[in-house]
Amino acid sequence: MASETRKKPESNVTRNTALTKAKAENDDLVAAGTSFLSTSTTTMLNDNQVKYKEAYDTVAEKSNDDVLASDALEKAAASLKRGCTRFIRVFVLAVEDGDFPAANLHYYHLDSSGKVPPMTTYDEIQNCAANLISGDAARVAAGGAAMANPNIGMITHRNTAFLDCRTTKRATTMALTAAETALNKLNADADETILFVWNEVEAHFSNLSPAARRVQGRIWGIIYIKAGGTKEVSGTVKDSLSGNDILDANVFFENGVNDALSDAHGYKLNTTLMDTQILLATHPLYVDFKESVVLVEGENPVVNIVMVKKP
């Protein structure tokens, strides 16, 4: 049988929501002269809600910048990868036709097979492009004929765009990290404020039934979690660029108590949570994943996770 209990905020999102709802409700009561919060709690709420929202909005802004930079970087990387692949394949065909000696492959750090090197990471793509650019310059300087279509200028142009995008992504990630650090420093004061508010709200409505008290509490931002039987949430965890499995990603629900590590088969996470919950996945090399999941009694949802690698 499902039960509902109060749960403190575990994320910056839920902290911001709790503070925002509480201040909005209290502001209305203050205007009407009917606020029941103590003066000290009201002062604490007003001060910390404003500071927290400002820091929270800054994180949202920097996060949006970082997402846009990630998208631009992925597109630039894909374009450069296609260009490198095309250049190598055309050059190898020209070698096979006798237009260039096979020995010229070494200029591009290619073996005698002329096989396209792996380009599953940004570093590998960047390294391949650098080898083609420097190798072509060395080959032409040694008396070799320039290849016309595609010419090395195409690789140089796409490589410049890729490097610019990578520099921008590093900058947006650093800005986002700084904003998140500043916000996290406010969490202790936010949690203390929320606890004081919630305790006074529940005390004020203590004459109501538990169900009615929860209705009023939710208006003030109090979080009540509904739990039921055990459900298994499972799925794959993949790299957005290569599609390869990500090992050792930590998968968990924002309001849950369990977590799971991914392996070559994905992940399996047990939870007793119900209704809409936030599923998170973290890994030192990847941007955090977040998605809303609806949990229904008797159902075991499959949620496949795709993570974007940090620059």
Domains and CATH numbers, the chain: 8-222 (no CATH), 224-311 (2.60.40.1120)
* CA dihedral (104, 109, 113, 114) positive or negative: negative
Query: Per residue in 168-185, pLDDT tens?
Result: 999 999 999 999 999 999
pLDDT given at position 30: 97
Pair of tokens at residue 67: 């997402």
pTM for this model (two decimals): 0.72
pLDDT given at position 311: 72
pLDDT given at position 151: 94
Residue 251: strand pairing partners: 260, 281
The rounded percent of the chain whose pLDDT value lies above 70 is 99
Query: Per residue in 242-264, pLDDT tens?
Result: 999 999 999 999 888 889 999 99
* 70-76: long-range contacts, CB 8 A cutoff, minimum separation 24: 70/169, 70/287, 70/308, 72/165, 72/168, 72/169, 73/122, 73/162, 73/165, 73/166, 73/168, 73/169, 73/311, 74/240, 74/241, 74/308, 76/158, 76/161, 76/162, 76/164, 76/165, 76/166
Mean pLDDT of 188-212: 97
Which pLDDT band holds residue 4 (cuts at 50, 70, 90)? confident
Statement: residue 190 has pLDDT above 70? yes
Query: Per residue in 30-54, pLDDT tens?
Result: 999 999 999 999 999 999 999 999 9
Report the mean per-residue pLDDT for the chain. 94
Mean pLDDT of 215-241: 94
Statement: residue 1 has pLDDT above 70? no
Alpha helices, DSSP H, located in the chain: 12-32, 39-96, 122-141, 152-184, 187-204, 210-219
pLDDT given at position 96: 94
Greater confidence (306 vs 257) lies with 306
Which residue is it, tokens 């499972």?
234
Which residue is it, tokens 């910056």?
12
pLDDT given at position 92: 96
Q: Which of 5-14, 27-36, 268-277 has the highest mean pLDDT?
A: 27-36
Mean pLDDT of 261-288: 93
pLDDT given at position 2: 63
pLDDT given at position 3: 75
pLDDT given at position 284: 84
- Contact call for residues 81 and 161 (beta carbons, < 8 A): no
Q: How far is CA 307 from CA 218, 249, 284, in A?
A: 33, 10, 11
pLDDT given at position 256: 84
Mean pLDDT of 64-69: 91
